[in-house]
Structure 1
Amino acid sequence: MDDWHAIDIYDGDPTPGTPASIQAMATSSQRRAQEINGHAAGLRSVAANSGAMRLRGDYAAKIDRELGRLPGEAKVLADAYVDCAAALSAFAKELTRLQARSRSALRIGMTAESQYRGLLQRFCGLTGMRTYGPGVWHGLDESYAAPLREPVRSQALAIARNARLCAEERRKARASALQAKYEYEVAAALCVRAVQAAGMRLGAPGSGRTEPAPTRSRAPRSATRRGSAGKPRVGARVQGAVEKPAVTPSAKKPPAKPVVRNNDLSEVTITVQREPFHARAQFDRKMNALKKLSDEGKLFKQANPVARDKKITDDYKARIRQMIFDKYWPHDKEMANRLSARLSLQHPDHVWELQLGGADDVSNLKLLHGLTNVDIGKQIWQKIMKLPDGTPIRIEVVD
C-alpha cells in the first residue's frame, strides 16, 4: 500500500508514526502524574507534622523546613507530566486524522496512476506514438490527438481526455498528501516543544531545581548544537516517536561544470503551478523574484548537478536560530521555543534558483516554507531537465 512513488513522493511516508504507541506514552505520563500527586500528599502530611511520622529531636525543625519544600516540587513535576500527557494525546489524535488523509490520497493517486498507464498504453497502441526517457510520461492530453485523422482521431481524443483527468486526479492526491505532511510537521513540532516547555518549568525559580547553565549565547548548554532549544529528559522519548528516522544519504554525482546563458538558443517558457499546500505569501514572494529575473533576461538552465556548499545554508539557518535565542531565551524561553519550532519548518532558499543560474552565496538566501520550497524546485526541474544547458528560461505562474 505504501508505494508513495505513485504520487511522486520519494522520501517515504509523509505522516509516519504509530498513534497507539504515542497514546500509550500519554497514558503512562498521566499515570506517573497521579503517582507523584499521591507521594505529594504523603509529603504534605509529614511536613505538617500531622501524620504517624511526626518528627522530634534537635534536627526536627531543619528537616521540617526542607520537607516543606518537597510537596511544591512534587506538584511541579506532576503538572509537567500532565502537560506531557496532554501534548502526546493531542498529537496521537492528530496523527490518526492525518494518516487517514494521506493514505486516502495514496489510494486515490495509485488508482489514477494505474488508469493513466493503461490509457497511455492504449493511446500509443492506437496512434503509434512512442515515449522516451525513464519513468512514465504524464503529459498526455487532447492536444496530442487533435492532428490525427478520423476515425482514429475520435477514439484518441476520448482516451487522451480520460488520461488528462486521471493525471489531474493524481496531482490533487499528491497535493492532499503533501498538505497532510505539512500539518504533520507542525503538529510534531508543537508536541515536542510542549514537552520541552514542561521540562523547562522544572528549572523555574522556587521549584528547587537547577536551570540548565547557559552558554555564552545564553542558550541552554544541553542543546545538541549551538543555538537550539535544550531538550530535557522528559522529551527524549517523544523526540524519537514523532521524528522520522534518519535516511542514509546515497552517493552523489560530482557537480557539473557551470555554463552561462546561451542566447543563441530559443527562450523556453515554463509554468509553476500554485498548490493548496503552498504558503501563499511566501510562494508569491518567491515567484515574483523569479519573474523579475526572467523579465531581466537572467534565467537559464544551469548544468546539473549544480555545485553547492551545504555549509552555507546550514550556517545561515544556525545564525538565525542563534539570534532567536540571544534575544528571547534570557527572559522568555517559551517564545524562544515557539520561534525555534517555526524556524524548523523553514528552508534557507536560493531566491535565484541554482538550477536557473543563481549563485550559491549567502546574499542569495532567504527563508521559505519548506514544502513550498521543495515543490517549486521540483516543478522547475521537471520542466527544464531535458533542455540543453544554457537554454534561456521564462517563468509563469498558473493558479
Structure 2
Amino acid sequence: MVKRRTNPPRQTQAAGAKIISALLENKDAFRTAKTTGGTPPKKAVLVLRNRPDFVKKDFDRKAADLVRLGQEGKLVKTKPVRRQLAHRDPNKPGTRKTTTIFRDRIIRQLNKGQNYMSNKELVQALYRGKDPKRFPVTGPGVTVDPDHIHELQLGGTDTYDNLRLMDAWTNREIGREIDRALEDVPYGTEIIVKVIP
C-alpha cells in the first residue's frame, strides 16, 4: 500500500542548493549524439536566468546583448582565442592580455584632471581588480572586470570595441556557467539565447 504524503510539498529551495544561471534547453539531444556518435542538432538553445547574487543591471544588459547577437545569427560555439599584446616599453618583458590593457586605460582616463573624485568608487573597484590576491572575488560588488560583450566562447573577438566594464562576480559566473552548459555542444553549432525573467 502506498503511503500518502502528509507534509505539504516543499516551497523553497533546499539549503545549500545552487541556482544555475545558464543551462542548455536541448542538452539531452547533444549528449545522446556525443555518446552514440549520432548527428547533433544544428542549433543549441541556451537559457539564461538571473541569480539573486548577480548584479541585476549587469546581468540584464549581458543577457539582452546575447539574445540580440543570437537573433542576428552571430553566436556560434568556438574555441576562445585570447590575444597577447607586447609591451610598448622595451624594458618590460612579456605580454599583456587585452582586458588588462583595457582596465589600465580606463584607470588612466579616470585619473586625469578632476575625474577621479567624481568616479572614486569605480576607480577603486578597478584597482581592486588588479590585485586578486588581496581582493578575491567572492561575491558581487567586490570589483569590476572588463567583460567581452560577445563572449569569446560564442565567436566573439578579443578586441577593445568588444569590451565594457561589468561586475566581476556576475561576469565570471555567467561565463563559467555558459562554458559548462555548452560542454557537449560541438564547435560550429549555432547558439540561440533565451532569458527566463
What TM-score do you get using the length of structure 1 for normalisation?
0.33
- Structure 2 partner of 1:326: 112
Residue 392 (str. 1) matches residue 190 (str. 2): yes
Aligned to 1:287, what secondary structure does the other structure show?
Answer: helix
- Structure 2 partner of 1:151: none
Residue 315 (str. 1) matches residue 109 (str. 2): no
Question: Percent same amino acid among aligned pairs?
Answer: 29
Higher relative contact order (CA 8 A, sep 6+): 2
| Matches for 1:110-125 after TM superposition, within 5 Å | none
| Matches for 1:1-399 after TM superposition, within 5 Å | 166=14, 169-171=16-18, 265-303=41-79, 306-309=80-83, 311-328=97-114, 334-335=117-118, 337-343=120-126, 344=128, 345-399=143-197
Q: Which runs of 5+ in 1 are unaligned?
A: 1-153, 155-160, 176-263
Q: Which runs of 5+ in 2 are unaligned?
A: 3-8, 22-39, 84-95, 129-142
**Rounded Cα–Cα distance in structure 2 between residues aligned with 1:321 and 1:280:** 24
In 2, are the aligned partners of 1:349 and 1:366 still within 8 Å (CA)?
Answer: yes
Aligned to 2:17, what secondary structure does the other structure show?
Answer: helix
Read off the aligned partner of 1:385 and give its amino acid letter: E
Aligned to 1:327, what secondary structure does the other structure show?
Answer: coil
**Rounded Cα–Cα distance in structure 1 between residues aligned with 2:148 and 2:179:** 14
Structure having the higher Rg: 1
Count residues in correspondence.
146
**Rounded Cα–Cα distance in structure 2 between residues aligned with 1:302 and 1:293:** 15
The C-alpha deviation readout for 1:202-229, integer Å capped at 9, x for no partner, is xxxxxxxxxxxxxxxxxxxxxxxxxxxx
**Rounded Cα–Cα distance in structure 1 between residues aligned with 2:119 and 2:191:** 41
**Rounded Cα–Cα distance in structure 2 between residues aligned with 1:373 and 1:335:** 25
More strand by share: 2
More helix by share: 1
Read off the aligned partner of 1:297 and give its amino acid letter: G
Read off the aligned partner of 1:318 and give its amino acid letter: D
Moved segments of 4+, more than 4 Å: 334-337
Q: Residues 337 and 296 from structure 1, CA distance in 2 versus in 1: closer, same or farther, beyond 3 angstroms?
A: closer
Q: Residues 339 and 392 from structure 1, CA distance in 2 versus in 1: closer, same or farther, beyond 3 angstroms?
A: closer
Tell me by how many angstroms 1:328 deviates. 2.3
In 2, are the aligned partners of 1:328 and 1:336 still within 8 Å (CA)?
Answer: no
Provide the alpha-carbon RMSD of the alignment: 3.1
Q: Residues 340 and 292 from structure 1, CA distance in 2 versus in 1: closer, same or farther, beyond 3 angstroms?
A: same
**Rounded Cα–Cα distance in structure 2 between residues aligned with 1:390 and 1:349:** 23
Tell me by how many angstroms 1:169 deviates. 4.5
Read off the aligned partner of 2:17 and give its amino acid letter: R
Aligned to 1:387, what secondary structure does the other structure show?
Answer: coil
**Rounded Cα–Cα distance in structure 2 between residues aligned with 1:273 and 1:287:** 9
**Rounded Cα–Cα distance in structure 2 between residues aligned with 1:337 and 1:393:** 39
**Rounded Cα–Cα distance in structure 1 between residues aligned with 2:77 and 2:51:** 24
Aligned to 1:289, what secondary structure does the other structure show?
Answer: helix
**Rounded Cα–Cα distance in structure 2 between residues aligned with 1:295 and 1:270:** 12
What TM-score do you get using the length of structure 2 for normalisation?
0.64
**Rounded Cα–Cα distance in structure 1 between residues aligned with 2:74 and 2:118:** 41
